[in-house]
Amino acid sequence: MAEPLHQSSVIVIHPGSYWLRIGRASDPYPVAVPQVIARRNHGMEKDRFEEKLLHRNGIGHSGSSALREQALKMVEQAIWSRKTSQGHRRESVHTSEVHSFNDSVSHQSVDEFTDMSWTDTANNAEYFIGDQALYLENSSDYNVQWPMKHGQLNLHNNVGGSISAVIQDLCTLWGHVLDKSLGIPPEELEKYRAILLIPDIYHRPHIKELVKLLLIDLRFEAAIVHQESVCATYGSGLCSACVVDVGDQKTSVCCVEDGLSHRNTRVCMTYGGKDITRTFTWLLEKARFPYRECKPEKTMDALLLIELKETFCHLDQDFDGIQILDFQVCYPNQPMLTYQMKLGDETLQAPMAIFYPQLFGVVDEKMTFTQQRNQGDPEDIHDELYLLQTQNQQQQVCLHKGICLETFPKNGSQNL
């Protein structure tokens, strides 16, 4: 008789575009690690590749600014048309007051250093993952990769962009987190089983590679694949729901009923929290952001902008008028700098871009996808296309022989 399956021997893996969430099924909360890896570049300097934290194609297009300005007017009108919960009209914000205040602001130094530190590269490690990859003071010797993009494998034409390289990065990432954060060395993974959470709209060849990674590379005893929306309803104790998932780089909508994800209801938009951060950054620049040395292409400043978005942005229309906000700029081994700034509706306008995606300023890029038809797998002779074709062939053979399917009894061993 087989031994009962213990929750502590089941590992749940949820790989996102920014976060890798992983843990035992018995853990109340998973371990969350930025899913980024920096590998030492052994080639030429010109072959080095670093994917910036807030980079996105289509933003720097000549029509991006005009598209954003037009969408901003629509957002302002939508905000102004709604009253507060008390039935009052929102207060108008004078941009001149905001600009004059922010132009006059200078930082204040705090006489204490941050508890952050740069990653120690003295031992010439071959790779760094997670926060260690983000806190590289000088990343010129490393290729910095984010293996997932918009919920799918991040394939591109630069160094480390092939499917084998991306799978190898994920293997290193997951194995490192399992070993260092969960205390499971590689040689003991064969005693564990894995549950892999995948997006509602998935690409079959990518899922096939991820399952190979779990069973062959990491050597789990067994693995099962589940969709995010189904697991979300199961974890919430709901038998049916419309699941809306706003992630870092994608927003997905799916209807689940009795544990089944309805294929025709699946929609994926390739924008999320990171796009809100970029939009908020653009609005901060328009409002004369007092931290004038901010450069979004620098990792530390990008992390600051993400923190500001998470702290200040909201969709509460009871907050209106001008707000005075405080924030700190922290760099490793440097004293903290404190700033004040005034903002109007910028904290509400940025997340409203979810409903007005033109505000993201993305040009010449398709941003909405549905589940595509399976193209088949030549290595799998029993996929759904094979079954469909063989079924048609059997029906044609029966018709050719003059056999009518309806003549068979509906019950019994001869039922086709």
3-state SS, 276-304, equals HHHHHHHHHHHCCCCCCCCCCCCHHHHHH
HSE-CB at 302 with a 13 A cutoff on CA atoms is 15
Q: Residue 73: exposed, middle, or buried by beta-carbon count in 10 A (0-12, 13-18, 19+)?
A: exposed
CA distances from 14 to 66, 110, 226, 253 (A): 38, 39, 10, 18
**For residue 76, what is the domain's CATH number?**
3.90.640.10
For the chain, how many structural domains are there in total?
A: 1
Asked if residue 192 is part of any domain, the answer here is yes
Name the DSSP class of 271.
-
**pLDDT for res 317:** 85
Q: Work out the end-to-end distance of the chain between its first and last CA atoms, rounded to an integer number of angstroms.
A: 36
68 domain residue, yes or no: yes
Structure tokens at 61: 């297009």
Strands 193-198 and 10-15, how do they pair?
parallel
DSSP bridge pairs for 202: none
For residue 264, being part of any structural domain is answered with yes
In a domain, 392, yes or no: no
pTM across the whole model? 0.88
Q: What is the largest CA-CA distance in the chain?
A: 93
Query: Quick check: 359 and 353 in contact, CB under 8 A?
Result: yes
pLDDT of residue 1: 47
Separation of CA 65 from chain center: 25
- Number of residues in the chain: 416
Give the whole-angstrom CA distance, residue 10 versus residue 26: 8
Show the tokens assigned to 271.
Answer: 């924008």
Q: Which two tokens stand for residue 104?
A: 């006059």
pLDDT tens track, the chain, 416 positions: 456 678 899 999 999 999 999 999 999 999 999 999 999 998 777 788 999 999 888 787 778 889 999 999 999 999 988 888 888 888 888 899 999 999 999 888 876 777 788 999 988 899 999 999 999 988 888 999 999 999 999 999 988 999 999 999 999 999 999 999 999 999 999 999 999 999 999 998 999 999 999 999 999 999 999 999 999 999 899 999 999 999 999 999 999 999 899 999 999 999 999 999 999 999 999 999 999 999 999 999 999 999 999 999 999 988 888 999 999 998 888 888 999 999 999 999 999 999 999 999 998 888 999 988 777 777 776 677 776 777 666 666 666 666 544 444 444 444 33
- DSSP bridge pairs for 196: 13, 225
380 within some domain: no
3-class SS of residue 11:
strand
In a domain? residue 319: yes
Q: What DSSP designation does 314 have?
A: -
* Cβ proximity of 51 and 144 under 8 Å: yes
* CA dist., res. 24 & res. 27, Å (int): 5
Look at residue 21 and tell me if it is in a domain.
yes
pLDDT on residue 229? 95
Domain enclosing residue 164, as ranges: 8-370
**Distance between CA atoms of residues 231 and 198, nearest Å:** 10
Helix (H) or strand (E) holding 257: strand 251-257
The amino acid occupying position 236 is: S
Residue 412 belongs to some domain of the structure: no
